[in-house]
Amino acid sequence: MTPADLADLLRATAAKVLVERGSDPAVLPDEVKVERPRNPEHGDYATNVAMQVGKKAGMNPREFATLLAEALTAAEGIDVAEVAGPGFLNIRLAKSAQGAIVAKILEAGANFGTADTLAGTKINLEFVSANPTGPIHLGGTRWASVGDALGRILASQGGDVTREYYFNDHGAQIDRFANSLVAAALGQPTPEDGYAGDYINDIADTVVKANPGVLELPETERHELFRSAGVELMFAHIKKTLHEFGTDFDVYFNESSLFASGAVEKALDELKASGNLYEKDGAWWIASTEYGDDKDRVVIKSDGNSAYIGGDIAYFQNKRSRGFDLCIYMLGADHHGYIGRLKAAAAAFGDNPDTVEVLIGQMVNLVKD
């Protein structure tokens, strides 16, 4: 008997007890929770369902727990059910029930736990997506493991899962990365807003060796060469790291392609035409508060350049155009605002905001001693 089986048995038994007492079983939660007790001597599982619904059913929680324990003890697969404290229920499974799980797992083999709940659902699972301005750090590898595991779970339930890495190769951070490489190649100090570290020196050296005479090129041409070559080398390092970690992706999507193809401009024109993009203070804003966001967001800045959300909006449209029914974004703690803005962007296009699901990974502090 699995925890899910036990939870179902608990709910069915509780409903039967309530009906016998003339109470409405609708007071029961949709899902009865069971958990492992801290002290194994208390049993295999414990539940507080009697405390949740006892008073709603017109009974003292301990009284309800006692009735529930009597009914459960008579059920197949239950060795004993005992009441503790004000209404907790401790349950010990029969040895035969525990052995049945093992037999079930061995019989099912690799198919154990699989289902077709998500059959026919195309899922885009985007995770890690670290900026290509430095090596993958611990936070990125944390999302790599969680994302990969989630992808396996979704696939095991019949979902058609595409694991995707969004390659942020457009914007100010890439310019700062290129400036840092050029400074390192010229033996100059790291720019104030630049990136530092041995990896910057290593990449700069590699670019110089692969492109003799690069330092003599005109400034704009030199910058662009360091930019393109440096980003390519950095991303190759990121992909190699993730592969060695055991995480590979089906799609590596370049943010720059959204701008080069005109997808960003097209998406924003569509929002302008619908009235969901308006001009104020020289900038263009998406009316995201109309769709549940906590504030409207700047999409086109007063200098005419697109804000980050411009690419995000076009990227969502791209995912939907590729036929994905559910777009899952796994983002860091500093991206909490993306939950509202991405759902609002979907709604602004007349799409279902539930096609967007954002998972936020919080920061973890590792404390010595």
- Residue given tokens 């914007």 in the structure block: 171
Q: How far is CA 330 from CA 227, 247, 273, 304, in A?
A: 27, 15, 31, 29
Within a 13 Å sphere around the CA of 120, how many CA atoms are in the beta-carbon half? 1
Rounded-to-integer distance, Cα 198 and Cα 204, Å: 10
Rounded-to-integer distance, Cα 176 and Cα 153, Å: 39
Confidence at residue 332, expressed as pLDDT on a 0 to 100 scale: 84
Query: What is the amino acid identity at position 299?
Result: V
Kindly state the percentage of the chain with pLDDT values over 70: 100
Rounded-to-integer distance, Cα 14 and Cα 71, Å: 9
68's CB contacts (< 8 A; 6+ apart) are 10, 13, 14, 17, 49, 50, 81, 89
Confidence at residue 138, expressed as pLDDT on a 0 to 100 scale: 78
Q: How far is CA 150 from CA 3, 126, 127, 245, 329, in A?
A: 20, 11, 10, 16, 12
Residue ranges, the chain, pLDDT below 70 = none
- pLDDT tens profile 142-193: 889 999 999 999 999 999 999 999 998 887 889 999 999 999 999 999 999 8
Confidence at residue 362, expressed as pLDDT on a 0 to 100 scale: 81
- pLDDT tens profile 158-167: 999 999 999 9
For the full predicted model, state whether its pTM sits above 0.95.
no
Which residues on adjacent β-strands are paired with residue 35?
A: 46
φ and ψ of 48, to 5 deg: -115, 25
- pLDDT tens profile 27-75: 999 889 999 988 888 889 999 999 998 899 888 999 999 999 999 998 8
273's CB contacts (< 8 A; 6+ apart) are none
Query: What is the amino acid identity at position 234?
Result: M
φ and ψ of 336, to 5 deg: -60, -35
- Residue given tokens 């939907």 in the structure block: 320
Confidence at residue 293, expressed as pLDDT on a 0 to 100 scale: 85
Rounded-to-integer distance, Cα 181 and Cα 204, Å: 5
SS3 298: strand
Confidence at residue 230, expressed as pLDDT on a 0 to 100 scale: 93
Confidence at residue 168, expressed as pLDDT on a 0 to 100 scale: 86
Confidence at residue 8, expressed as pLDDT on a 0 to 100 scale: 93
First to last CA, the chain: 40
Domains of the chain (ranges; CATH) run 3-96 (3.30.1360.70)
